[in-house]
Amino acid sequence: MCGIIGYIGKRKVVPVLIDGLKRMEYRGYDSAGLAYIRDGEIVAVKSMGKIARLEQQLQDVDAESHIGVAHTRWATHGEPNEKNAHPHLDCTGRIAVVHNGIVENYRALRKYLQKQGHRFTTETDTEVIAHLIEEYYKKDIPFIDALTSALLQIEGTYGLAILNADEPNKLYAARHGSPVIIGKGEKENFVASDAAAIIRYTNRVIYLNEGEVAEVTDDGFEIFTLRKDRVKPEVQKLTMTLQELEKGGYPHFMLKEIFEQPATVRNSFRGRLNLEMGTARLNGLKSHLDVIEKLKRIVITACGTSWHAALIGEYLIEELARIPVEVEYASEFRYRSPVLDDGTAVFVISQSGETADTLAALREAHNQGVSVFGIVNVVGSTIARETDAGVYIHAGPEIGVASTKAFTSQITVLALTALMLGRRRGIVSTERGYELASHLAKIPEKIKWILDSQTANIKKIAEKYHKKNNALFLGRGINFPVALEGALKLKEISYIHAEGYPAAEMKHGPIALIDENMPVFFIAIDDLMYKKVVSNIEEVRSRKGKVIAIATLGNEEIRRYADDVVYIPETDYLLSPLLTVIPMQLFAYYTAVLRGCSIDQPRNLAKSVTVE
C-alpha cells in the first residue's frame, strides 16, 4: 500500500526522500509528495502519478534542509490527484503528516473539526490527523502530548511520519496497524514503512509495535506508548541487500524475479531437506511439532496468489499427511465466525507479512484461542511477529507487484511441511520420502530448463494472443490452483479478462464462452488425469477455441490436439505446480509487455495491501 519515509540528519533531505520513495514505489504509485522544513517553515511539494514526476518538479530545488517526510500513495479516500496527495497539512501549514492506513472515523472527526473552525482542503481521511493534532496543540502543551491525544481519537489504522515546524530538529512517527520502522544511522535517523527505503543507508532497525509513538532526532530517538510510558527499543539487523533491490540488468523486476526462481526455490529448501531420512526439517516449527502432527484439522488462510499457494498446500498436506485442510480467503474468514475447535490450527501465508485481511484473520484465530503458524517472506513483518511460530520462505525481496518467486517458494515450504508431517505421522515411507525429497532437490534445475529453452516459444505465443480480450486457464487436481494463478497473473498485469477453472468444470458453464477468439491454456502433464484433460481439449477444439498446452517433455502426441505446446520436464505430480506455473508467469509477462502495460506497477494495484 502507501509507502512513507522520514529523514533527519546530516544529508540534504530531498535526495534521501526521493531515493526512498523510488524504492517503495511498488507499494503505491498514483501520486507522491514530500515536505521539509526550511527557515522554520514547512515546504510541501506534491505531484500526481509516479515518483519520476515529483522528482522532475524538484530538479531545480536545492533545498538546504535536513529534515523531511515523504509519501507514495495508493488512493483509498479521495481521487488520486495532486490535491489529495500527501503530505497533508493543518490550517497553519506548520504540521505535515504522511500516512499509510485508513482513518475509519474520519467523517465524524472532520465534522467535529469543521465545527471548531478547521478548514479542509482535500477529500482524504488523512487530513483529519493534521487538524486533530493542531486542535490539541495549544500553548504550553508539548507537541508529543498533542500527538498522542489526537491518535487516541483515531479509529482505523495508521503508520505515520510527522513534521512540526516549531521543532525543526525532531521527526515524529507512530504505528497502529500499518508497519513503521526506525532506521538507526550515524548522526542521522530514518522512519519508513518499508526497509527497502532505507537499506542503502543503514541495516539497523527498530520495529515500532502497535500503539507506539517515536520522537526522532538526528542522534537518537525515544519510543512511547500512547499513554506516554517509555518503551525500551530493540535494535535488529536487516538481512536484505541493496543489490536484491536492483533490477540487475533485467528490464523489469517481474522478469528478474521469474528468472530468480531456480535460486529462490533452492533457498527455500536449503538446509531443510534430509534426503537420507526422506524428510524435511523446519526449525521454525520445531517447538510446536508435537502439537502440529496431532492436529485434526488445519485451516490455511491467505489472499490472492498466497491463497492459490494455500490451495496447493491443501492437496499436499491432505495427500502426504492425511490431515484435513480447509483453505479460506482471509477477508472472508474473519467475518464469518469460523469454527475453530480443539485440534485445529491455522496457517497464514503472506509474502509481505503485512496484508491487512490476513493479519485480521490471524488475530481472529488468536482470539478464538487456536495456534497460528506463519509462512512468510518478509522477515520481521507484522504477521511473522504475531504468529506463534513459522517458516520464512527466503525468496528475498519481491518488488514486482505481481507475485512470482514468492509463489514458488511458498509451495516449496508447503511441500516441506507436508513431507515432514507425513513422515512424522507414519503415512509417508522412507522410500517415498526420499523420492519426493530428491525430486524437490532437482526442481531448481528444471525451472532453469524451462526458462532457458521455453522462453522464446512462450514469447511467440504471447505475440499470437496478446490482442485477445479473454483467456481461459484450465487444470486438474493439484494444477487447478495453478490455473487460477495463471489467470490472475494475466489479469493483473495485462488487463486481459481471464478465468481459471478446473478443466472438467468447463462443460458446466464456461464452455459457452469458447469460440475462435478464445485462447485456452490447458495444464496437460503426464499424470493420472492426462487422458481426461485431452478429452477436455477436444471439447474446446471442436468449438474452434485455440489450445495452448503445457505438457510433459517428450509428449509429442499432444501436438495433434494443441495449437501451441510449452514443455516442462517431468517431476513428481505433487511438485508439478512448481514447474507448470513458470510458463504462465512468462506468458503474462510477455503479453503485458506487448500491450505496453506497466509491468511492475500495474494500474490500481499495490504490493502490500495494508487496508481491509
Catalytic residues: 2, 607
Q: Does 351 bind ligand F6R (CB under 6 A)?
A: yes
Q: How many residues bind ligand F6R (CB under 6 A)?
A: 15
Q: How far is the CB of 255 from ligand F6R (least distance, A)?
A: 14
Q: In 354-484, where do the E strands start and end?
A: 372-376, 389-392, 470-475
Q: Which three cell numbers stand for residue 332?
A: 472472508
Q: How far is the CB of 302 from ligand F6R (least distance, A)?
A: 6
Stretch that binds ligand F6R, among 26-34, 219-227, 297-305, 467-475 (CB under 6 A): 297-305
| Binder among 148, 608, 610, 611 for ligand F6R (CB under 6 A) | 608
Q: Does 381 bind ligand F6R (CB under 6 A)?
A: no
Question: Whose CA is closest to 64, among 20, 13, 19?
Answer: 13
Question: Whose CA is closest to 503, among 572, 560, 580?
Answer: 580
62 CB contacts (<8 Å, ≥6 apart)?
A: 12
Q: How far is the CB of 498 from ligand F6R (least distance, A)?
A: 13
| Binder among 126, 203, 350, 585 for ligand F6R (CB under 6 A) | 350
| Binder among 124, 306, 412, 454 for ligand F6R (CB under 6 A) | 306
In degrees and rounded to multiples of 5, residue 171 shows phi and psi of: -120, 140
> Binding to ligand F6R (CB under 6 A): which residues in 390-409?
402-403
Q: How far is the CB of 7 from ligand F6R (least distance, A)?
A: 26
Burial of 311 (0-12, 13-18, 19+ CB in 10 A): buried
The one-character DSSP state at 573 is G
186 CB contacts (<8 Å, ≥6 apart)?
A: none
Q: Long-range CB contacts (< 8 A, 24+ apart) of 154-157?
A: 154/103, 154/105, 154/109, 154/129, 155/103, 155/104, 155/105, 156/101, 156/102, 156/103, 156/104, 156/105, 156/106, 156/125, 157/101, 157/102, 157/356, 157/610, 157/611
Q: Does 261 bind ligand F6R (CB under 6 A)?
A: no
Stretch that binds ligand F6R, among 81-89, 98-106, 222-230, 301-309 (CB under 6 A): 301-309
Q: Does 301 bind ligand F6R (CB under 6 A)?
A: no
Rounded Cα–Cα distance for residues 14 and 511 (Å): 56
| Binder among 279, 305, 454, 479 for ligand F6R (CB under 6 A) | 305
Angle between helices 480-494 and 304-321 (to 10 degrees): 170
* Three-state secondary-structure class, residue 256: helix
**Which of 399, 558 has the CB closer to ligand F6R?**
399
Q: Does 584 bind ligand F6R (CB under 6 A)?
A: no
CA 32 to chain CA mean position, Å: 20
Stretch that binds ligand F6R, among 350-358, 454-462, 505-513, 590-598 (CB under 6 A): 350-358
Question: Which residue has its beta carbon closest to ligand F6R?
Answer: 304
142 CB contacts (<8 Å, ≥6 apart)?
A: none
| Binder among 303, 395, 461, 558 for ligand F6R (CB under 6 A) | 303
Q: How far is the CB of 401 from ligand F6R (least distance, A)?
A: 6
> Binding to ligand F6R (CB under 6 A): which residues in 357-376?
358
| Binder among 30, 314, 492, 527 for ligand F6R (CB under 6 A) | 492
**Which of 19, 492 has the CB closer to ligand F6R?**
492
CB atoms within 10 A of CB 441: 13
Stretch that binds ligand F6R, among 205-213, 228-236, 245-253, 349-357 (CB under 6 A): 349-357
> Binding to ligand F6R (CB under 6 A): which residues in 399-458?
402-403
Stretch that binds ligand F6R, among 156-164, 274-282, 346-354, 517-525 (CB under 6 A): 346-354
The answer to whether 569 and 553 have CB atoms below 8 angstroms apart is yes
Binding footprint of ligand F6R on the chain (CB under 6 A) = 303-306, 350-352, 355, 358, 402-403, 488, 492, 608-609
